[in-house]
Amino acid sequence: MKHITYKITGIILLVLLSQCCVNHNGTEKAIQDQDNIAEAINIVKECGNKVWPGFNKITFSTLLVTDSIEYLYNHPEPDEEFILNNYNNKLKTDVYTRDITLNRSILACFGICNEPTVIVGIPKNTDRSGVEWLITLVHEYFHQYQSTPDYYQMVDELDLKGDCKTGMWMLNYAFPYDNLKVKEQFRKYSDVLYRLVQSADKEEREVLFKEYITEKNNFRALLSDKDYRYFTFQVWQEGMARYTEYKILHTLLENPGLKLNYTTKEYNNYMNRLFKREMYRLKNNNLDKQKRVCFYTIGFAEGLLLDKIDDNWRKHYSEKLSVDHLITKHYN
């Protein structure tokens, strides 16, 4: 009987110890994720205004979605759904929690309690880790920057929502990705954009720029006005967010001295991988398979193009939900 009692007691101890280990590891992971959120915020605060006017002034409202709990940081006015949990010294904010309601792999920015909020799953659930996960946060913080009061009215004026009452139309818009002529012309347009961005010769760029405008206009001619508005909006919104990832990294590396969790080498390596990846996608795009993700790459490249032709273009970025007028201004 004693032997059985000892055995049962041993099993109970093992279970308790394993639970302690799980809780300890979970706490460590949560602390690491919060440290990465703090670093992303710190980078935007230090470098954001050097890229986009006022980028460092956003609220940085953030919802971290874990396996079972959602943690809300920097929110000015959470509703009764959220319970005050603690104060985070590194983030310098009250932390609110609620049971999980959203997809664990989410990477998005939308309203939580009437505040544009970055919503992000933990690294293992988003298939991102380290610097990539952190820079994805910067991407989403740029969407928060885009979400000005005027933004929502301007989006309504695009007349693209149809009957959709949520933001899902941005993902599901019926763009003619499979149209053969559209695909072929998109490839011509992106190919000359690739050559234009890569060119280091000013005279060659002037020739390529005219060719680029021609191919872009040919692409536009194949689309309805509504389809082209969707395309230019996606370039403005998602493409410039992808450009911002690269530009923030570039600015960070040009301004050493900021205390970072990751090394300069890690940030530099990721920046180079990001550039090579987007250039590869620009050169080898497949519109019917990659669909709207192709527009991220176009925006990335057109942001780099605008850097070459107009030092002040980012000051005028928010005037319209398109960058076309900023590009054609140079051509005209």
What CA–CA distance (Å, rounded) separates 220 from 233?
13
Q: Residue 98 carries which side chain, given as an amino acid letter? A: R
Q: Where are the domains of the chain?
A: 21-147, 150-331
- State the pLDDT at residue 16: 38
Locate 137 and state its tokens. 């946060």
What CA–CA distance (Å, rounded) separates 104 from 102?
6
- φ, ψ of residue 71 in degrees (nearest 5): -110, 130
- State the pLDDT at residue 10: 42
The tens-digit pLDDT sequence of the chain (332 residues) is 444 444 344 433 333 333 444 344 444 556 678 999 999 999 999 999 999 999 999 999 999 999 999 999 999 999 999 999 999 998 999 999 999 999 999 999 999 999 999 999 999 999 998 999 999 999 999 999 999 889 999 999 999 999 888 889 999 999 999 999 999 999 999 999 999 999 988 899 999 999 999 999 999 999 999 999 999 999 999 999 999 999 999 999 998 778 888 999 999 999 999 999 999 999 999 999 999 999 999 999 999 999 999 999 999 999 999 999 999 987 65
The b-or-e profile of 72-102 (16+ CB within 10 A means b, else e) is bbbbeebeeebeeeeebeebebbbbbbeeee
- State the pLDDT at residue 29: 59
Q: How far is CA 179 from CA 214, 215, 220, 318, in A?
A: 20, 17, 13, 31
- State the pLDDT at residue 202: 87
Q: How far is CA 174 from CA 83, 105, 228, 328, in A?
A: 40, 25, 12, 27
